[in-house]
Amino acid sequence: MNPRPDSPCPCASGLPLARCCGRWHAGPEHLQAPTAQALMRSRYSAFVLEDAAYLLATWHPDTRPAAIDFEPGLRWLGLEVRHHAMAGEHRAVVEFVARSKLGGRAHRLHETSRFVREDGRWFYVDGEVD
């Protein structure tokens, strides 16, 4: 999926994609999401845009899957960040709810995700689904 850079960012920040998550998706290696929350929002946007390369690159190597399969017909409807907190200098948690629709049925993913910062870069580690 190739949305226009001036389209609204899927993460619901209210900013255009190019000024929000799109800069992390397309940015050079040195341009990384500065916080765990920014990384979580950019990963949600990457799921919406089906950007497997970005999702794999931001997944910690210890827990990263070999590949990401996107559910055909799944439509993401919105993101709500409920809580984010540092859990030490290099660890953070982000609680969120992501809404989607598949085959006419609505779904909610309520997850508390764990992130770690290594060499100045944030990575998604794993999440606990409620």
Give the predicted TM-score (pTM) of the model: 0.94
Q: 67-94, pLDDT tens digit by residue? A: 999 999 999 999 999 999 999 999 999 9
d(CA 24, CA 43): 10
State the pLDDT at residue 3.
77
Domains and CATH numbers, the chain: 17-129 (3.10.450.50)
